[in-house]
Amino acid sequence: MSKIYYTLTDEAPMLATHSFLPIVKAFTRAANIEIEVPDISLAGRILANFPEYLTDDQRTPDALSALGELATRPEANIIKLPNVSASVPQLEEAIAELQSQGYALPNYPAEPKTDEEIAINKKYAKALGSAVNPVLREGNSDRRAPKAVKNYAKANPHRMGVWAADSKTSVAHMTSGDFFGTENSTTVESEGKFRIVFYAADGETKVLKDFAPLKAGEVIDSSVMSISALRSFVARAMAEAKEKDVLLSAHLKATMMKISDPIIFGAIVETYFKDVFAKYKDTFASLDINPNFGLATLNEKIAGHPLEAQIKADIAQTIENGPRIAMVNSDKGITNFHVSSDVIVDASMAALVRGGGKMWNADGAEEDTVCIIPDRTYAGFYDAIIQDMKRNGAIDPRTFGSVPNVGLMAQKAEEYGSHDKTFQISGDGTVKVEDENGNVLLEQNVCDGDIFRACQTKDAPIQDWVKLAVNRARLSNTPAIFWLDHDRAHDAQIIKKVETYLKDHDLTGLDIRIMDVKDAMTETLRRAREGNDTISVSGNVLRDYLTDMFPILELGTSAKMLSIVPLMNGGGLFETGAGGSAPKHIEQFLHEGYLRWDSLGEFLALQASLEHLSQTQGNAKAQILADALDEANAKFLANDKSPARKVGQIDNRGSHYYLAMYWAESLAAQAADAEIAAKFAPVARAMKENEAKINDELIGAQGRPQNVGGYYHPNTAKAYAAMRPSATLNAIVDGI
């Protein structure tokens, strides 16, 4: 029997799974496929890490570790939906919810003091940030817009904001003291070990990371962000926004860069509210207020304090004196400085570019903004696209070319900031990356409060990445550009390897180039405006940013991308597109029973998964299911059966019904397998004949609050009841 591992994750995609999974299981049984559902949600990962605190019936298997091991085997076939990349506030919310459900978990010690608290903190740290992706991504990324999706976007263009040549929107970045400026990098010649040690100016020595393996040919980097240079830069950006009379916004990724970016976010918040933090220094210390957690936590901690009204008045006065802060939610008064996990650079900057360079102000109106992106490593990428938009105006989705991406990410390549090699330094001194013989591989001078980070990129993934880029360029007859900066230390090492490994391939007739990031952006946009496609070949973090930016410009959303990870040992990981886990969608569902989440990414991933299963395991019926699903996806798009926006219209559950009906119709009509055709002919007929009744039942379930028994850890029975409200449809599906 063939197996597909369909992951249970978080928020909107988790709810959607409760509607779509019964359909998937029913249809795939026809090809003798078993669907397993490993729980890799935030709540599931928390429970798996604390078995000793739970009763026997509460203990949860460590599904993520098991899937990580599976990803190294050739039979792996994993469909991975978006996860919460948890910030500390989200982690604490999930813990509190689980505790309220009777799980005797310990509280999260944000600043551990005892050995027990340190041990608990380390366990919880495993669930923070981008905890899932590095474990499963044992291959490099191949993301592109399927033809049917691209054609639909051209025929039904989404709204684009108007870019003015005199737009005041700009990117503010550091000019020194950032990760880009301090980065050093080396390629290790032979296998060995390394450790990271802080040598304080007062003579104290502290091992930050003990010995870990290095492979021959591996690239290892280190870099530092100066906290004092960062604060000075933020003050200059504030002055620029004030002078231009525009909004000020921060654009980071505290969810993925879980060590570095919350600290950077805190420095921005503390610098903006410098006078408030100085005036209430003792009060804030007594309340354990940490600027890294933003204004939301500050407001929670001062609630009920005798100085609450005075502090809030001073905060309001600071904002009034400007520069004005961009808003995440104007109606609720949630600023760009409220919660670090609201500030997600790939989503926020893509929305800004699509919207004509505008963000929302406190009155709910759009304004230009100075975008704080401190580190030049990626700030230049965003600056280049903003400059292009000012020169050439907004893009036209009806004629714009496509920008697929081949991303380097296998074996935790370039895992900046989300792992165990990023630290905030206490004291002045030097941080050294040493081998097991005491030889210094890399060295950085640091001051108190600076952020040090190191990262590794193994050689085999780089070779595989180059091969994947060449293969994609040949298969699609499309030029490919490696986005690598010659002046960046890490990229300089990677460029040497790319140039070497390209020689292993026949490049006859192919257009493959290496370009600095700004130049690559300018050239890619030039070609796309002319209707031409260009493959972007990029490192891990830039991959993340590119696969939001271009799909949002091309398609209006990053959730409709086909995202395949050909695993290095022969298996397949099929990701259901970018776009996060859509907390606003689940909020709407819980309040009014309407789920806007678009599962097209799941449909596309399932089609690719079935095709892979057929090719690797000789399952001919899986190929029939895949071909029929491909036809169903095209029909789904052509008939515009994606979720709408408001109660009374088609939502996520209705979109699943139509996909199932089109899939059944295609299977019933195919001639290659009489058994499958006979099985699905009555299914297709029943779904079509009951269309009005099923729609009435699905839409009739909307318009009232939903209780699924938990946000992070819902009750399974309640979630299925909420997401399968059509008894007619359920009877047809369950009867297959």
The string of pLDDT tens digits covering residues 520-570 is 999 999 999 999 999 999 999 999 899 999 999 999 888 778 888 889 889
Dump pLDDT digits (tens) for 7-40.
999 999 999 999 999 999 999 999 999 999 999 9
Beta bridge partners of 456: 220
Q: How many CA atoms lie within 13 A of 24 on its CB side?
A: 25
DSSP state letter for 291: G
- Can you read off the two tokens belonging to residue 597? 């989440």
- Distance between CA atoms of residues 192 and 417, nearest Å: 23
Higher pLDDT, 527 or 640: 527
Going 444 to 447 to 448 to 450, the CA torsion angle's sign is negative
500 Cβ neighbours under 8 A, 6+ residues apart: none
Over residues 103-132, the mean pLDDT reads 92
Using only the alpha carbons of the chain, give its radius of gyration.
Answer: 26
Higher pLDDT pick, 278 / 135: 278
Instruction: Say how far apart CA 280 and CA 157 lie, in whole Å.
Output: 51
Instruction: Indicate whether 305 pLDDT > 80.
Output: yes
Please report, for the chain, the start and end positions of each structural domain, with discontinuous segments joined by +: 2-138+567-734, 179-226+429-456
Q: What is the pLDDT of residue 645?
A: 85
Asked if residue 260 lies in contact with residue 266, where contact means CB atoms within 8 angstroms, the answer is: no
Mean of the pLDDT values across residues 655-681?
Answer: 95
Question: To 10 degrees, what angle do helices 260-272 and 294-302 make?
Answer: 70
Model pLDDT, residue 580? 64
Residue 626: exposed, middle, or buried by beta-carbon count in 10 A (0-12, 13-18, 19+)? buried
DSSP assigned state of 8: B
Rounded Cα distance between 32 and 1, Å, is 6
pLDDT of residue 578: 59
pLDDT-above-90 percentage for the chain: 87
Beta strands in 641-734 (DSSP E): none
First to last CA, the chain: 18
Q: Are 734 and 683 in contact (CB under 8 A)?
A: no
Backbone phi, psi, residue 40, to 5°: -115, 25
State the maximum Cα–Cα separation within the chain, in Å, rounded to a whole number: 81
Pairing type for strands 247-250 and 366-372 reads parallel
- The rounded distance, in Å, linking the Cα atoms of 349 and 328 is 13
Give the closest residue to 234 by CA, choosing from 209, 257, 268, 283: 268
Return d(Cα 2, Cα 571) in angstroms, integer: 13
pLDDT tens for 57-113 read 999 999 999 999 999 999 999 999 988 888 888 999 999 999 999 999 999 998 899
Statement: residue 581 has pLDDT above 80: no
pLDDT of residue 671: 82
Residue 359 · residue 321 · CB < 8 Å: no
Name the residue among 353, 382, 29 with its Cα closest to residue 172.
382
Picking from 1, 33, 2, 35, the residue whose alpha carbon sits closest to that of residue 17 is 35
